[in-house]
Amino acid sequence: MEDLKEIQRNFAPKQVRPLSEVYGGYTYFAEDDVLLAKITPCFENGKLSVARGLKNGVGFGSSEFMVLRCDTKLDPDYLFYFLSRDVFRENGKGRMTGAVGHKRVPPEFVQSQELPLPPLDEQKRIVAVLDEAFEGLSRARANAEANLADTMELNAVAADAVLYEHAPGERIGSLAELFGPVSTGPFGSILHQSDYVENQTPLVNPAHILNGRIVPDFRKTIGNEALQRLGSYRLRQGDIVLGRRGEMGRCAVVGETEEGWLCGTGSFFIRPKSSDNPDYVAAMIRSRSFVKKLEVMASGATVQNISNKDLGLMQMSLPPREVQDERMTRIALFYEKSDDLSRLFKARLSELDTLRQSLLQKAFSGELT
pLDDT digits (tens, 9 = 90+) for 108-165: 999 999 999 999 999 999 999 999 999 999 999 999 999 888 887 888 888 899 999 9
Distance from C-alpha of 263 to C-alpha of 204, rounded to nearest angstrom:
5
Distance from C-alpha of 125 to C-alpha of 63, rounded to nearest angstrom:
33
What are residue 303's phi and psi, to 5 degrees? -125, 125
Q: Decide if 164 contacts 289 (C-beta within 8 A).
A: yes
pLDDT band at 102 (very low <50, low <70, confident <90, very high): confident
pLDDT at 277: 96
Kindly report, residue by residue over 206-227, the tens digit of the pLDDT.
Answer: 999 998 999 999 998 998 888 8
Distance from C-alpha of 328 to C-alpha of 322, rounded to nearest angstrom:
10
Summary count for the chain: helices (H), strands (E): 12, 17
pLDDT at 188: 66
CB neighbour list of residue 160: distance below 8 Å, 6 or more residues apart:
287, 288, 289
Decide whether 1-115 matches 171-318 in CATH topology: yes
The H-or-E segment that residue 359 falls in is: helix 321-363
DSSP state of 245: B
Alpha carbon 65 to chain centroid, angstroms: 20
Kindly report, residue by residue over 283-316, the tens digit of the pLDDT.
Answer: 999 999 999 999 998 887 778 889 999 999 999 9
* pTM exceeds 0.85, yes or no: no
**Which of 3.40.1130.10, 3.90.220.20, 3.10.110.10, 2.40.50.140 is the CATH number of 1-115?**
3.90.220.20
Q: What percent of the chain has pLDDT over 70?
A: 100
Mean pLDDT across the chain: 90
CB neighbour list of residue 248: distance below 8 Å, 6 or more residues apart:
291, 294, 295, 298, 304, 306
Instruction: Sketch the domain layout of the chain as residue ranges.
Output: 1-115, 117-165+320-369, 171-318
For domain 171-318, the CATH architecture is Alpha-Beta Complex (3.90)
- Rg for the chain (alpha carbons), in Å? 25
Kindly report, residue by residue over 171-194, the tens digit of the pLDDT.
Answer: 999 999 999 999 988 876 788 888
Kindly report, residue by residue over 323-348, the tens digit of the pLDDT.
Answer: 999 999 999 888 887 778 888 888 99
